[in-house]
Amino acid sequence: MSMAADMQVTLRLPTRTLFDGRAIELAAVAQDGAFGMLPNHTDFVTALVPSVLTLTVPGGEELFFGIDEGLLVKKGHSVDVAIRRGVQGESLETLRETVENTFVQIDEDERVARTALSQLEANIVRRFADLRRPQP
């Protein structure tokens, strides 16, 4: 494999791409602990845990992402990260608040959707029960 100065990194959510660009360094947390990755790191796959994922882009700027559980796949000079939920923070200091606000809203939206689905299921069961009753 050729030596590279950077790697292509893509952070994917179920509904959109959170980040797609070049990076010279990546730091994340897997189930067995924190790790760092440079462009010429060996290929591998690992499961990520809820944590902060940090990217250093060419030019030295650090980008911070609050992520939920996910999967990281490194192949060649490409890194694909699939995460359930994630948000980019302005800085490491403000990331916690951003994550809390975003994830709390997502949790509330999911709770509302589950409640609506439960009500629909109960309504269907009632209608089927009405169909089984003998007609006068």
Give the pLDDT confidence of 110-121 residue by residue, as tens digits.
777 788 888 888
Q: What is the pLDDT of residues 95-110, one digit of tens each?
A: 677 667 676 666 677 7
Cα gap 19→67, rounded to integer Å: 12
What pLDDT sits at residue 120?
87
End-to-end Cα spacing for the chain: 79
Cα gap 36→119, rounded to integer Å: 46
Average pLDDT over residues 62-85: 93
Kindly report which listed range (59-63, 72-76, 92-96, 120-124) carries the lowest average pLDDT score.
92-96
**Helix, strand, or coil here: 42?**
coil
Alpha helices in the chain (DSSP H): 92-132
What pLDDT sits at residue 115?
83
Q: How would residue 85 be classed by pLDDT, with cut points 50, 70 and 90? A: confident
Q: What is the pLDDT of residues 13-37, one digit of tens each?
A: 999 999 999 999 999 999 999 999 9
What pLDDT sits at residue 111?
76
Class of domain 7-132: mainly beta
Kindly report which listed range (6-20, 54-68, 90-104) carries the lowest average pLDDT score.
90-104
What pLDDT sits at residue 96?
72
What pLDDT sits at residue 116?
83
The DSSP secondary-structure symbol of 47 reads E
